[in-house]
Amino acid sequence: MSSDADRRGELLAALHHAGRENSNAAVMFHAAIGARMGLGMTEEKTLDLLEREGPLTAGELTAHTGLAPASVSGLIDRLERKGFVRRVRDREDGRRVIVEINQEHVASFGVLFNTFVAGLEALYAGYTDEQLALILDFLRRSAAVQRDATGELTGQA
């Protein structure tokens, strides 16, 4: 019985270590991408958020990022000055302003992701559909845990 507990302890320690290693690799990759694009890491990840979610209001960006509203306003200002986003009036409610990606400008940086995307596609090819579903579940659930922890740290919980 002790060997099962020992094995689980070893697996949990290895998982913790691998998670930290993965986090560090992601941070360093996005810092390098941001540097090549002339963006800070929060700016680069906000573009990623807008790419995945589509155009958002400043309030929606605040909710998605967990950042303070004043920080989001400054973030949008910086991205707009650098040509990555634009503020547009909502077609349905002219009082609302939405932030959308300037696709023409952002598309010129797509090549920076080619090696990474190809590497991930090769990695995925080595897993069964069932294994991919398990990995997907883990990633979604661990992202939710991290978002909750971020919200607690920023007071946006």
Please say if the pLDDT value at position 77 is more than 70. Answer: yes
pTM for this predicted structure: 0.81
At 134, the pLDDT band (50, 70, 90 cuts) reads very high
Positive or negative, the CA dihedral 130, 19, 60, 120 is: negative
Total Cβ atoms within 10 A of residue 66: 19
At 91, the pLDDT band (50, 70, 90 cuts) reads confident
Residue 57: name the closest of 48, 69, 39, 44 by CA: 69
Integer Cα distance of 100 and 82 in angstroms: 13
Q: What angle do CA 24, 139, 67 make, to 5 degrees?
A: 65
Percent of the chain with pLDDT over 70: 97
pLDDT value of residue 68:
83
**What confidence tens digit (pLDDT) does each residue in 15-50 have?**
999 999 999 999 999 999 999 999 998 999 999 999
Integer Cα distance of 36 and 8 in angstroms: 42
Residue 46: name the closest of 121, 138, 145, 37 by CA: 37
Please say if the pLDDT value at position 156 is more than 80. Answer: no
Average pLDDT of the residues of the chain = 92
At 150, the pLDDT band (50, 70, 90 cuts) reads confident
Tokens of 47: 């573009």
Total Cβ atoms within 10 A of residue 43: 19
Please say if the pLDDT value at position 155 is more than 90. Answer: no
Integer Cα distance of 144 and 147 in angstroms: 5
Please say if the pLDDT value at position 2 is more than 80. Answer: no
Query: For the domain 2-126, what is the CATH code?
Result: 1.10.10.10
Integer Cα distance of 145 and 16 in angstroms: 14
